[in-house]
Amino acid sequence: MRRYVITAAVVLLVAIGVLSGRHMALSLSASQAPGHSFRISGTAAGLMPGKAVPLTVTVTNPDAQPIRVTSTTVTAQAAGRDCPSSLLAITSFTGTPQTIVPARGHADIHLSITLSVQASDACRRVSFPLSFTGRAEQWQ
Amino acid sequence: MNLNIRKPLITTAIAGGIVAVSATAAFAFWTATGTGSGTATTADSSTDLTITQNAFNGSALVPGGAAQAVSGTIANANTFAVPITSFVASVAVDSTHAQAGCSAAWYSVPTLTPPASVPAGGSANFSGTVKLNDTVGTNQDACKGATVTLTYTAS
Amino acid sequence: MIGRTAAAALAGVALAAVATNPASAYWRATGSGSGTVTTSTGATKVITVALSSGTGRSIKATGAAGLSPTYNPAVTVTLCKVNSWPCPAASVAATLTATATAGTPSYTASSGNLNGVTVWGQASQLETSGWRDYSTIAGPITG
């Protein structure tokens, strides 16, 4: 009888410990844990009106754990007064194909950027600045 | 008797609880945000237009004869339409006849009509006329049988 | 392959009116290409001229010329006070005409009294093809 009381007590202590850990883990889920950010970069060249040009976006993961990229969005700024950002059509990434960036590594996402046929001659040999934002989650 | 039954039950309960909690703990994870910048650069130039003249099927030129028709196409391999704002033709005489005294200045292109624009990935027609002017009093025999090359430039 | 001569003349028509778009309104492209046009070979030139003194300080022109159907038998001879061709209007001493026949010489034409002027001469006739053939220059000769 005593043996089982000791066993039950041990079990109770283990349960309490695990449940406490579970509580802590739940409070951390879906949070922006400090130190878990990543970098995005990319360039495209040779844009001409009506021509879809590859935009290779490189995601660099400085973390010690791999991440899965869930979205990447690109916004452009104007390249001078005659070349508004509305002349550019850029695709975005929403998680497919599955893109895992290894710990302290990088991976490429392939997007496409097209200059409108409305672009005038004033937009030859100009550079549109691009801004990237993205989200990723920890990957097991 | 009761002890034998309880022990496996407790073991099962403990194992089940630990598995359940472990499974729940595995769904706790962090997400991260990324940022960065880059550039998109436009090309400096475009693909050249291609101009082709159809084989000449008018009458061979004689001095003072009627202007003869020439025609051809302008092809545009770009992904955008190209308007034609300038279309000119220059004339050259083959070297044999030029050295014999046939002057390219005796030939003229009285009319030259380009298309207004050439569609993206397509082509459009142009037409014109060419003639050999009669320079009265000047011997133009050196031009007999000469091959005249018209070079068209569009922009 | 026959090369292209350097004596090329710009004989073209540039569009006077540019489209309503201003210069920067579209992405430009340029191009060029070429084609050939043939010139008639015509007929072989046969006309010649020789000058001699005639009576009364006249000049006589004789020579060979082509006949129908390849040639127009009407022959024109220009006597020029200078050896410069085409003869400047003020230097024309006389313009003679004749009709070629199947004889030797094909044609003969005489001027009036030229008062002892010194002239050079050139004969010409039309081909049916449209070409005008010119003889080599004869002279000088004094009438």
Rounded to a whole number, what is the distance in angstroms from the first to the last CA of chain C?
Answer: 51
| Domain with C121 in it | 50-142
Domain count of the fold of chain A: 2
pLDDT given for residue A28 in this prediction: 44
- Mean pLDDT in residue range C112-138: 94
pLDDT band for C132, please (50, 70, 90 cuts).
very high
In a domain, C120, yes or no: yes
- Structure confidence by residue, pLDDT tens digits, C40-50: 999 999 999 99
Task: Work out how many CB contacts closer than 8 A connect A with C.
Answer: 17
What's residue B144's pLDDT?
96
Q: Residue C17: its pLDDT value, please?
A: 38
Alpha helix ranges (H) inside chain A: 2-28
C87 phi-psi bin (left φ>0, alpha ψ -120 to 50, beta other):
beta
pLDDT digits (tens, 9 = 90+) for B69-82: 999 999 999 999 99
Average pLDDT over residues A34-57: 93
pLDDT at B137: 80
Beta strands in chain B (DSSP E): 31-42, 49-53, 68-76, 82-83, 87-93, 107-113, 117-118, 122-132, 147-154
Task: Please determine, for residue A26, whether its predicted confidence score (pLDDT) is greater than 70.
Answer: no
Task: Report residue B29's pLDDT band, with 50, 70 and 90 as the boundaries.
Answer: confident
Q: Which domain holds residue A18?
A: 1-31
Q: Closest to B149 (Cβ–Cβ): which among C4, C15, C134?
A: C4
Exposed / middle / buried, residue C18 (Cβ in 10 Å: 0-12, 13-18, 19+): exposed
Instruction: Give yes or no: residues A134 and A91 share one domain.
Output: yes
> How would you class B118 by CB atoms within 10 Å of its CB: exposed for 0-12, middle for 13-18, buried for 19 or more?
buried
- Tell me, yes or no, whether A1 and A24 share the same domain: yes
Is the pLDDT reported for residue A87 higher than 80? yes
Chain B residues in contact with A99 by the CB 8 A cut-off are none
pLDDT at B123: 97
- A70 phi/psi in degrees, rounded to 5: -105, -25
* Any domain includes C96: yes
- Look up residue A68 and give its two tokens: 């899965």
The whole-angstrom distance between A104's CA and the closest CA on chain C is 44
Tell me: pLDDT of C13 over 50: no
**Predicted confidence band of residue A95 (pLDDT cuts 50, 70, 90):** very high
Query: Greater confidence, C37 or A30?
Result: C37
Distance CA C128, CA C43 (A): 9
Complex ipTM > 0.85: no
Are A5 and A51 contained in the same domain?
no
Indicate whether B110 belongs to any domain: yes
Based on the structure, what is the number of domains in chain C? 1
Q: Which chains touch B (3 or more CB pairs under 8 A)?
A: A, C
Query: What is the mean pLDDT of the segment spanning A126-139?
Result: 96
Name residues 80-119 of chain B within 8 A of C (Cβ): 80, 82-99, 102-105, 107-112, 114, 116
C24: nearest CB among A48, A49, A120: A120
pLDDT at B34 over 50: yes
| Angle A110-A114-A117 from CA coordinates, rounded to 5° | 170
Interface of C with A (CB under 8 A): 23-28
Does residue A138 surpass a pLDDT of 60?
Answer: yes
Partner residue facing B62 (CB), from C35, C86, C129: C129
Q: Do B31 and A113 touch (CB under 8 A)?
A: no
Residue C75 resides in a domain: yes
Higher pLDDT, A86 or A4: A86
- SS3 (DSSP) at C5: coil
Q: Mean pLDDT, chain B, as a whole number?
A: 88
Decide the pairing of beta strands B49-53 and C31-38.
parallel
Q: Are residues A68 and A10 in the same domain?
A: no
Q: To the nearest whole angstrom, how far is the Cα of A46 from the nearest Cα of chain B? A: 4
* Cβ contacts of A119 on chain C, cutoff 8 Å: 27
Number of other residues whose CB lies within 10 A of the CB of residue C49:
28
Is residue C123 in some structural domain?
yes
Tell me: pLDDT of B19 over 70: no
Q: How confident is the model at residue C143, as a pLDDT?
A: 79
Share of chain B above pLDDT 90, in %: 75
pLDDT tops 50 at residue C9: no
**Domain presence at residue B148:** yes
Residue C122 has pLDDT above 80, yes or no: yes
pLDDT for position A1: 64
On whether both A23 and A51 belong to a single domain, the answer is no
Q: What is the pLDDT of residue C18?
A: 37
| Structure-token match 């021509």, residue found | A51
What average pLDDT does range C56-85 have in this prediction? 96
Instruction: Evaluate whether residue C65 is within a structural domain.
Output: yes
Q: How many structural domains are present in chain B?
A: 1
**What's the pLDDT tens digit per position in B38-90?**
999 999 888 999 999 999 999 999 999 999 999 999 999 999 999 999 999 99
What local confidence, expressed as pLDDT, does residue B138 receive?
86
Q: Between residues 45 and 84 of chain A, which touch chain B (CB distance below 8 Å)?
A: 45-51, 53, 55, 57, 59, 63, 67, 69-70, 72, 76, 79
What's C64's domain CATH number? 2.60.40
pLDDT-derived band at A25 (thresholds 50, 70, 90) equals: very low
Same domain, A26 and A75: no
Q: Which domain holds residue B70?
A: 50-154
Interface test with A, best of B5, B18, B27, B31 (most A CBs within 10 A): B31
Task: Write the residue in A48, A82, A120 that is nearest to C26 by C-beta.
Answer: A120
| H-run or E-run covering C59 | strand C59-63
3-state secondary structure of B6: helix
At residue B80, the pLDDT reads 94
Q: Model pTM?
A: 0.72
A110-121 tens-digit pLDDT: 999 999 999 999
Per-residue pLDDT, C1: 42
User: Do C27 and A82 lie within an 8 Å CB cutoff?
Assistant: no
Chains touching C (at least 3 CB pairs under 8 A) are A, B
Residue C34 lies in a domain: no
Query: Could you tell me the CATH number of the domain that includes residue B68?
Result: 2.60.40
- The answer to whether residue B8 neighbours chain A at the CB level (below 8 Å) is no
Angle (deg, nearest 10), helices B2-26 and A2-28: 10
- Residue C63: pLDDT above 60? yes
Q: Which of residues 82-121 of A touch B (CB under 8 A)?
A: 88, 113, 115, 117, 119
Return the pLDDT at B120.
95
Query: Range with the lowest mean pLDDT among A29-33, A52-56, A60-64?
Result: A29-33
Q: How far apart are the first and last CA of chain A?
A: 44
